Amino acid sequence: QLTKQQEDIYRILENHGPCKALTISQKLGKKTAKEVNPDLYAMRRKHLLDLDEKSSTWAIYRPDLAGRNPAPAIIYQKNPINMICQNGPNNHISIGNSESIQIGHGNVIVRPTASGENGTGARGHRAPHRAAAEQKWQHQPK
């Protein structure tokens, strides 16, 4: 049985993903992490929450990860082009402290297909808009 505050904590993590104790406390209208720490550790003992010791973030316990929360990929741009590929239901891409960001132009969207499945988004097939653009570019008079 969970207390109301513990239910609220669980809901916060469900809706916002991994958070630090202070952030959770503030979302509950409290001022310090000390006000939620006893509940966080109690929920950890019940295998409801997981604490990432390195980042001090709390997340909903997922036994399929063997007690480990996946660390988000952090990409520091060193050249003008980055390709970001992420798989999974809870992916998030955050861009900060950047100038002249371009998202798009020549994107290729692929969907992995099962063996024997034939889909238009299968690997190796170009997105229709890109194929048309490439074809148009190739046939321009010089």
CATH of the domain at 47: 1.10.10.10
- 76 has a pLDDT exceeding 60: no
Q: How many CB atoms lie within 10 A of CB 127?
A: 15
Query: Does residue 18 sit within a domain?
Result: yes
Query: Does residue 58 sit within a domain?
Result: yes
The pLDDT value recorded for residue 41 is 96
Residue pLDDT, tens place only, 1-47: 899 999 999 999 999 999 999 999 999 999 999 999 999 999 999 99
Closest CA to 90 of 16, 20, 22, 23: 16
d(CA 88, CA 71): 13
Number of domains composing the chain: 2
Query: Does residue 93 sit within a domain?
Result: no
